[in-house]
Structure 1
């Protein structure tokens, strides 16, 4: 290994190489083409950076002045390409390498100027690189090594033609390295065509995948998928969490839902510009955001340092995609969790995907609200702040609090303040069905009714009102009784013993989240039950078929007349005899009926098509003459008798 690279690894905190890094840096493979299959998060980027170093530097310890590129790294997405550029930049910094990128979404003129100034290593996406080659912006004559990162993904995204074009333009004396999580038939055929006696390097476990990742398969009720996602995020409280969706629409909807619940969330999808995607990832890295909701393509290959949780909001299409998703966590020796949200109708699909990935998950239900509260309590008591000495700057305030309030009051205030910083967990239905189990708490007892602004028109739902009221009024689920959503407003009842605390928590404004106004009612409200769309009509509302509404008096359906009988088909018993029509006399051959004339609205005669054999020679000649006359401005011919000239 070159000394400059060894110093960079030591400065970065590397004490030992990963298995894939050790395999590709074997001196016996220094000049060989490689086909490497290794799981995501195994250190492939640093691995191929170390593997091509002898090819690029030869006997030198540092690079000469940059000219035409010596190495070409091809990645499937912009995020992965920029990430590879960052990794190779620090790895080759002490060797004096110039690393530049050519990716879609960036200004092509800036990239052309950077290539013109010279670069030792170019990291690019297939489409943009092909554009530069066809425009003559990049000189590939001096290439010594070409690396295809995530080669299987590039084929899945439809880049096969671009890759074949790029490899065909590269010098035949180059060294080619292909890195892929899996090696399907397409990758094997590509290796045979564009590699010379490639050495197969396998580091992927045959019986298990991602030993540092804990796989959880969570059964949820059909309508509780998004609620389960919220509870999973609240239960683990990971520094960084990645939630995968299959479509952009789901990404947008789930991002809005999490943002409304108080999560610091960003989104990542193909509809965003490169600047927006870069800002989203930077927000995750610097701690301004903790949750990223993304599609598969947008999140391909991204590496976040503190990503401890991956949630599959929607099941992937195959096991390869699931492995790539899960591989965003559990990287470089860190532990991670990969949670699959599995509604009942997708249980079979989840089992098939997990079996194809050779993964044995732990099946269970999503974290309940009680489990999240217990977890919050454990985290609060385990906080090291309890054991830290009182700072001099805070001593005055601490003594004031101790002198003014009792220990119980201080503890209660701390618990409330700690809970206000977090989103309330969701109450989940049993995983076996879509409805909640009947309540086992018995009679609710004396209560007081309240109204709150917002009803069906504002998409109000009991499952959204319940956590909002609990959080704003310092209540528990047992303190709130029935919730009735009406068209313009909603009603809810609170246990009589909890009303005073609820009013104190709301204050004089009586306002909860989103500016919703709460009003105390003196008497129970009148609940209007509306008939749902698609439900069968009531018997008294039904009307006989075929009559207009209000046209006749209601009919007693028990004495309704029998339906009208259908007429029997011709020839059936009881049908009227059908007499055949007399055939028309045949027209003698060779007789042509002259053109008929009819008067138009202005009184002038108008020629019409002849009656007789339309395809006879005389009629064809006559029609041709009429069309020629019409084109010269003669007598008109009806449009239905014309043919396009």
Structure 2
């Protein structure tokens, strides 16, 4: 390893290298191509930076003045590119390296001027780098190495053509380093096509994958998910938290609610401009914001310091996304927590995701309000401020406080001041186990009613149910079975809601005109078997109480042969009565008013020609 790189690592506080950094800097690898698979947060950026050292510097310890770029580092997103540029800048700072970037969303003219001034390493996104190559803004003739960081994500985002174009434009003698969290068939095909005898390096194993991340699966009641997120944030009080959502609307709604609850929160989604995204990430880095609500695409590749908590407000689509989300925490030896919040209906999907990711989670309920308050008291008692001795300037103030107020009053005031700075937790409902089959079988105590009109009246449950809820003042959860019989419809209503149902119906107890409702005993279970063909009683008058609008009947199409050879509309002949000789027929509008004078323009060419023709034929004008 070059001395300039070791000095930079020591200044940065690196005592030992991570497994992936040790693997890629193995002297036995030499300058061969590498296909590296390592989990997120394992120090890959510093790893390939160290691996590039012998290739770029050779026998020298320092870089020559900048000219044509020597290395390309390609990343899927702008944020990751800027992050990689910062890492390589301090790593190669002692070697006098000049690192620049070419990413989408930035001014292309500034990038062209920076490339014109020269650079040793260029960090870029695929689309913008291809634009510079096609515009001849960058010369790749001196490229010695190309690094594809997060290659699997770049292929998922549709950058295959751009990557192939860039690799074909670079010299064939280059060294290619391909880093990917997973190595699917698409990555293997890309490596076989553009790498020469690549060495496979893998630092991922089932035992060590996300070993520094503690997974939690928390079940909450329906419609309590957002309340549970607030309690989880309050329970951990992490210096940095990342909340993942599946849609932009969810990001906007959740960030607004957290902001209203006095959380310092920023959001990341595809609708934000590059400037807004930069400000949001900077707020997380400098501590002005402690919670970031983001979508999967917007948070790809970002690395935030002190990010100790990841919350899945919406369950990810697959296990790979779960690992990528959770990999935002537990980086560089730090411990982290990944919390999946789900309701009982989605519990099976959550377990399937965890099983596919080969991780084990602690299953339980979300922190209650009492648990959050107890955690606050524990943090208050363990605060380091209790261990610090008072300074000389504080001694006088302490004496005054003790003289004016007793110790108990001072402790009370401190406790109230401490709690006033905290967001109150939410009260959560107790989650219930959900079994779809059991939900259908058990409805609880109920009362049965009979409504006149059934199959003979054309009753359809999809129209019957909302109208029954409307007139009875109940919800669909209060209704059990609905059986449409020949001449009546049987309805099961929860016993606790039956009294209110009858009260809303009034004294008439009518569903609609000619449709009385009567309370009956519970009918016997319906017989299972082949349905008989029912013929409605033609003499019975149907009860017309459906509220759907009557449909228009289409006119039948004519079946006879069409008259061939005749025009579709017969042209009406012009009426020539009461017109002067040689004058055109007047045109009428819808109201019958004349558009032009009756005789037209007397001196027009056409009227003059008509008068001349009439005169020649012996007619008087």
Both structures adopt the same fold (TM-score exceeding 0.5): yes
Confirm or deny that 1:564 pairs with 2:530: no
Give, in angstroms, the shift of residue 563 of structure 1: 6.2
Equivalent residue number for residue 289 of structure 1: 289
Q: How does 1:464-613 map to 2 (within 5 A)?
A: 538-540=504-506, 564-565=541-542, 598=572
**Alignment partner, residue 377 of structure 1:** 377
Task: Please tell me whether residue 54 in structure 1 is matched to residue 20 in structure 2.
Answer: no
Q: Deviations over 1:503-541 (max 9, x none)?
A: xxxxxxxxxxxxxxxxxxxxxxxxxxx957889983238
Q: Which runs of 5+ in 2 are unaligned?
A: 435-471, 480-500, 519-538, 544-558, 578-584, 588-621
Q: Is 2:76 the counterpart of 1:76?
A: yes
> In structure 2, how many angstroms separate the alpha carbons of the residues matched to 1:601 and 1:416?
100
Alignment match, 2:554: none
1:337 corresponds to: 337
What are the Cα deviations for residues 73-116 of structure 1, in whole angstroms up to 9, with x where unaligned? 00011110000000000000010110000111111110000001
CA apart distance, 1:345: 1.9
> Hey, what does 2:105 align to over in structure 1?
105
Q: Is 2:252 aligned against 1:252?
A: yes
Q: How many Å separate the matches in 2 of 1:30 and 1:198?
A: 12
Give the conservation status (yes or no) of the 8 Å contact 1:99–1:119: yes
1:23 — aligned with what?
Answer: 23
Equivalent positions of 1:426-437 (< 5 A) are 426-432=426-432
| SS class of match (1:341) | strand
Q: How far apart, CA to CA, are the structure 1 residues paired with 2:248 and 2:380?
A: 37
SS of equivalent to 2:338: strand
Equivalent pairs, count: 484
Q: 5+ residue gaps in structure 1?
A: 435-529, 548-553, 567-582, 607-645
| Contact 2:311–2:338, Cα closer than 8 Å, also in 1 | yes
1:356: how far off? Answer: 1.3
CA spacing shift, 1:586–1:98, aligned 2, 3 Å: closer
- Residue of structure 1 in register with 2:219 after alignment: 219
Corresponding residue SS for 1:162: helix
Cα 1:539–1:35 change in 2 (3 A) is same
Question: What's the counterpart of residue 263 of structure 2?
Answer: 263
**Residues 330-382 of structure 1: CA distance to partner in whole angstroms, max 9, x if unpaired?**
11111111111121122121112111111011111111111111111111111
SS in 2 for 1:201: strand
CA 1:218–1:533 in 2, change beyond 3 Å: closer, same or farther? closer
Structure 1 pair 539–601 and aligned structure 2 pair: CA distance change class (3 A): farther
Query: How big is the shift at 1:15?
Result: 0.8
* Alpha-carbon separation, structure 2, partners of 1:77 and 1:313: 23
SS for the counterpart of 1:123 is strand
Cα distance in 2, alignment partners of residues 31 and 594 from structure 1: 83
Query: 2: distance between equivalents of 1:301 and 1:126?
Result: 15
How much has 1:397 moved relative to structure 2?
2.7
* Residue matched to 1:462: none
Residue 414 of structure 1 deviates from its aligned partner by 1.2
CA distance in 2, matches of 1:307, 1:101: 26
Question: CA contact under 8 A between 2:510 and 2:516: conserved in structure 1?
Answer: no
* C-alpha contact (below 8 Å) 2:67/2:120 kept by paired residues: yes
The structural deviation recorded for 1:298 is 1.6
Q: Secondary structure at the match of 1:294?
A: strand
Task: Pick which of 143-152 and 595-604 moved more.
Answer: 595-604
- 1:473-501 deviations in whole A, cap 9, x for unaligned? xxxxxxxxxxxxxxxxxxxxxxxxxxxxx
Residue 265 of structure 1, CA deviation: 0.9
Tell me the TM-score normalized by structure 1: 0.70
In structure 2, how many angstroms separate the alpha carbons of the residues matched to 1:272 and 1:56?
A: 37
Matched, 1:350 2:316: no
Match in the other structure for 1:240 = 240
Q: CA deviation at 1:433?
A: 6.1
Q: State the distance in 2 between where 1:367 and 1:416 align.
A: 22
Contact 1:208 1:359 in 2 (8 A): no
Residues in 2 aligned to 1:556 and 1:37: alpha-carbon distance in whole angstroms? 72
C-alpha distance in 2, partners of 1:95/1:284?
Answer: 30
Distance across 2 between alignment mates of 1:360 and 1:132: 46
Show the counterpart of 1:476. none
Query: Is the contact between residue 510 and residue 517 of structure 2 (CA under 8 Å) also seen in structure 1?
Result: no
What is residue 37 of structure 2 aligned with on the other side?
A: 37
1:154 has 2:159 as partner: no
SS in 1 for 2:241: strand
TM-superposed deviation, 1:143: 0.6
> What pairs up with 1:125-274 in 2 under 5 angstroms?
125-274=125-274
Please say if residues 214 and 361 of structure 1, whose CA atoms lie closer than 8 Å, have aligned partners that are also in contact: yes
How far 1:395 sits from its partner (Å)?
A: 2.8
Q: Deviations over 1:286-316 (max 9, x none)?
A: 1111111111122112222211111111111
Q: Deviations over 1:361-412 (max 9, x none)?
A: 1111111111111111111111122232222323333222212222222211
Is the Cα contact below 8 Å between 1:242 and 1:291 reproduced in 2?
A: yes
Is the 2:509–2:516 contact (alpha carbons within 8 Å) kept by the matching residues of 1?
no
1:605 is displaced (CA, Å) by 13
Report the Cα distance in structure 2 between the residues aligned to 1:386 and 1:70, rounded to whole angstroms.
Answer: 55
- Tell me how far 1:168 sits from its aligned partner: 1.4
CA contact (8 A) 2:254 2:293 kept: yes
Displacement of 1:596 after TM fit?
5.8
Q: CA RMSD in A?
A: 3.0
Give distance in 1, aligned partners of 2:21 and 2:567: 95
CA contact (8 A) 1:232 1:366 kept: yes
Alignment match, 1:96: 96
Checking the alignment, whether the CA contact within 8 Å between 1:76 and 1:126 is kept in structure 2 is yes
1:209 & 1:127 partners in 2: Cα distance?
32
CA displacement at 1:325 relative to structure 2: 1.0
- Judged with a 3 Å threshold, the aligned counterparts in structure 2 of structure 1 residues 543 and 151 are, in CA distance, closer, same or farther, namely same
C-alpha separation between the residues in 2 aligned to 1:274 and 1:311? 24
Q: In 2, Cα distance between the equivalents of 1:409 and 1:314?
A: 45
